[in-house]
A and B are shown apart, each in its own frame.
Chain A
Amino acid sequence: MKRFAFGLLAALLATTAQAEPMATGDLGLVIERARGSVLLVDQSDRAALARIEGLGDLSHASLVYSPDERFAYVFGRDGGLTKVDIVTRQVVNRVVQAGNAIGGAISDDGKLVAVSNYEPGGVRVFDADTLEMVADIPTGGKTIGLVDAPGRRFVFTGWDNGETWIADFSGPEMELTKIKDMGENPYDALITANGRTYITGLFGEDGLTALDLWDETPEPIRVLPGYGRGQQEMPVYKMPHLEGWAHTGEEFVLPAVGHHEVLWVDAATLTETGRTKTYGQPVFAMARPDGRHVWVNFAHPLNDTIQVIDTVSKQVIHEFKPGPAVLHMEFTPRGHEIWISVRDADKVMVYDTHTFEKLREIDAESPSGIFFTARAHRTGL
């Protein structure tokens, strides 16, 4: 026994002596969709540190972070929910919770992880520690636009029935609030950083629908109804994503659907404040954290290009082609750099957001989503 204890102590000493304490505040993970792995990256060093494998089908995958920025919960297309420890750089838990998943969220207290599923349609909620299921919320259809909201709540929307549901986990029993008439075929949604406004984009009609979550009984608010009226619809080869909003002038900037433009909406009145014509069907319109610029990428076949729009003038001020299949962009938390995944170049490219100069290329296999740990502290990311 004594010998065993001594051995253990020696082993502990050896590992702690070797391993520097690991700070995770400037780390991130890049999804390698074809390989089923994530690449651990370091923002400050602009480098890849390690590859963590065995996460299943990661097409369209996304992830969220625990409040301590140590664990990532990765939501795979195949319904896999994988918990990755970025300090020890390994998969620590994995469940296959559904047949076909689309995204996830983590509660404000970091205790619950929710996954939205296409098949079987609905949301499942798991204990963040053990990945045991704590709630199953079938919706009867494909579920999109799942976000966390303050007060241990999750908000999500049905593609087929156009209903937004709020699942409140603040009490001993989950409480569900259902809001009908959000519009035809909502395809994605976002929540503002303060957790007040939830906006769904609609595929089945021109327009968006907002909810004021500060309202006791939120009612659908139509935003830009019929924004494309009189213009020819163009085919959409990839569904846009809603994420992020521009702070300058308190506006949202959102991709239009079937029209090659982004739409500007006043955050207080939810009325249109402008439009900017873009190069193609926008997929992501992401505001730099200071809100001064919005970076936009595009759907196939124009997905080799990025445009940068100034939020004061609403003009395109820069356009460039990072390479084939630009899938995602992530700003450093203070916005001085942007990381861009260029799938068919097998590279993540790092750019200076002020000079637009390319700073580094990092090898990655079919990279898609890039997620920095600072997301841990943001509502709705």
Chain B
Amino acid sequence: MPELAYANSARGHPAARRNIWTGRTFLTAAVFVATSAFAADTLDPAALKRLVHQDCGSCHGLSLKGGLGPDLRAENLQHYDVDVLTTVILDGIPDTPMPPWRPLMTEEEAEWIARYLLTPEEQ
């Protein structure tokens, strides 16, 4: 089987497709069509929080105070509403290092992150 995995493009590689749903919620989501209301209880907030601080943090700083990318603390994102911010996360900002996250997460996950970033008490 490893040969098969290699034959795929890097994008199609199983690890690249793996998202941050836990194995169980992934199954559940595959069985039922995930509406956003339903998805809300299948998201894994702890894993998403970790992703924000560790992986967004590699450019925006572990505490989101900025690095190569700008400060992402709530007071600096007030010019965004949830929808626009979700889109920025999913599609990135072309011609800058801000990458599109669509290949790695669902829209519900991006929206959860957008809400998280816009809520100062959360951080």
- What is A's interface to B at a CB cutoff of 8 Å? 33-34, 57, 59-60, 77-78, 100, 102, 118-119, 142, 159, 185, 187, 203, 234-239, 260, 279-280, 300-302, 304-305, 325, 343
For B63, list chain A residues within 8 Å (CB).
Answer: 57, 59
Residue of A nearest to B11 (CB): A234
19 more contacts with CB within 8 A, not counting A118-B66, A237-B99, are A57-B63, A60-B61, A60-B67, A102-B67, A118-B68, A187-B97, A234-B10, A235-B92, A236-B99, A239-B97, A260-B10, A280-B10, A301-B15, A301-B18, A301-B104, A302-B10, A302-B15, A304-B15, A325-B54
B59 touches A33 (CB 8 A): no
- The CA of A260 and the CA of B11, in the complex, are separated in Å by 10
Is B75 in contact with chain A by the CB < 8 A criterion?
no
For A102, list chain B residues within 8 Å (CB).
Answer: 67
Shortest CB-to-CB span from A229 to chain B, Å, is 17
For B16, list chain A residues within 8 Å (CB).
Answer: 280, 301-302
Q: Which of B49-85 contact A (CB under 8 A)?
A: 54-55, 57-59, 61-63, 65-68
B59 touches A57 (CB 8 A): no
B55 touches A235 (CB 8 A): no
B62 touches A142 (CB 8 A): no
B13 touches A119 (CB 8 A): no
9 pairs, A vs B, C-beta closer than 8 Å = A57-B62, A60-B62, A100-B65, A235-B103, A238-B55, A238-B58, A280-B13, A302-B15, A325-B54
- The CA of A78 and the CA of B10, in the complex, are separated in Å by 35
B55 touches A300 (CB 8 A): yes
- The CA of A237 and the CA of B60, in the complex, are separated in Å by 12
A239 touches B10 (CB 8 A): no
For B67, list chain A residues within 8 Å (CB).
Answer: 60, 77, 100, 102, 118
- Most chain A CB atoms below 10 A, which of B13, B15, B66, B100: B15
B54 touches A343 (CB 8 A): yes
For B59, list chain A residues within 8 Å (CB).
Answer: 238-239
Q: Which of B9-68 contact A (CB under 8 A)?
A: 10-11, 13, 15-16, 18, 54-55, 57-59, 61-63, 65-68
Shortest CB-to-CB span from A266 to chain B, Å, is 27
B55 touches A237 (CB 8 A): yes
For B61, list chain A residues within 8 Å (CB).
Answer: 57, 59-60, 77, 100
B68 touches A34 (CB 8 A): no
- Most chain A CB atoms below 10 A, which of B54, B57, B63: B54
- The CA of A78 and the CA of B65, in the complex, are separated in Å by 9
Shortest CB-to-CB span from B104 to chain A, Å, is 6
